[in-house]
């Protein structure tokens, strides 16, 4: 996740807010984010080309993220 103050650098934190410092972890997180960004960009472009409303597809993409489930969460 890019820090808003330094958009060129990755900044990831753990559940307690401490920075993730392992370069391999940061690399995996950045790669995952780039893949997600690419898939979302493709979905947005496809929807617009097929005549869908841009606001609606953006709303749908937000809802997809909002409904992701953390399988490791301790209740």
Report residue 12 as tokens: 């990831």
- Mean of pLDDT over the chain: 89
pLDDT attached to residue 26? 94
pLDDT attached to residue 3? 46
The model's pLDDT over 29-48, given as tens digits with 9 standing for 90+, comes to: 999 999 999 999 999 999 99
Classified as helix, coil or strand, 22 is coil
Classified as helix, coil or strand, 35 is helix
Query: To the nearest whole percent, how much of the chain has pLDDT over 90?
Result: 80
Report residue 62 as tokens: 């937000």
Residue 22 has pLDDT above 60, yes or no: yes
51-59: average pLDDT = 98
Q: How far apart are CA 75 and CA 73, in angstroms?
A: 6
């Amino acid at each position: 996740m890019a820090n808003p103050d330094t958009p060129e650098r990755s900044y990831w934190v753990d559940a307690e807010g401490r920075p993730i410092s392992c370069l391999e972890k940061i690399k995996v997180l950045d790669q995952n984010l780039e893949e997600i960004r690419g898939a979302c960009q493709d979905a947005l472009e496809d929807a617009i080309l097929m005549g869908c409303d841009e606001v609606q597809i953006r709303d749908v993409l937000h809802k997809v993220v909002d409904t992701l489930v953390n399988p490791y969460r301790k209740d």
